[in-house]
Amino acid sequence: MPPAKAKTPAKPAPKTRATRVTRAEAEAPVRETPRVTPMKIDNIRHAAELLKQVSDPTRLQVLMLLSKQELNVTEICNDLPAQSQPSVSHHLALLRHGRLIEPRRQGKHNFYSLTETGRQLAEVLKSVVA
């Protein structure tokens, strides 16, 4: 049996130097970091939800169309020929759920228009898209 190797002792941690603080640094006022209040967090979450609603190109197009005038599903489908009627209805439901649009029933048809939040968001998006 070979002889056991002797364990070497662990090296001590290197000594660190204390950093020097200049007089100007010591006398400078301490700036507090701004804290995010619960109200701001709620606003941030709300903004994230709104932006999620228009993250899809079709929903963004629908929002832009409705910023000009009130339309029903058939009229929106005519302006978005690449989209089927069920697809447009699905996107309208998501926008309605997000409270960006509201329906108005007239006979057999629902006419959609922007809510106040939808109008404000459309104005912001127009400046970005233009």
CATH number at residue 119: 1.10.10.10
Strand order in the sheet with 109-114: 71-72, 109-114, 101-106
- pLDDT band at residue 8 under the 50/70/90 scheme: low
Average pLDDT over residues 119-125: 93
Q: Is residue 24 part of a domain?
A: no
Q: What is the pLDDT of residue 36?
A: 66
73 Cβ neighbours under 8 A, 6+ residues apart: 85, 88, 89, 92, 109, 110, 112
Dist CA 86 CA 73 (whole Å): 9
Q: Is residue 69 part of a domain?
A: yes
Q: What is the pLDDT of residue 56?
A: 94
Task: State the pTM of this model.
Answer: 0.66
Fill in the amino acid letter for 94: L
Q: Is residue 58 part of a domain?
A: yes
- pLDDT band at residue 16 under the 50/70/90 scheme: low
Strand 71-72 and strand 109-114: pairing?
A: antiparallel
Q: Is residue 31 part of a domain?
A: no
Query: What are the pLDDT digits (tens) for 43-76?
Result: 888 888 888 888 999 999 999 999 999 999 999 9
- Give the residue with greater pLDDT, 53 vs 92: 92
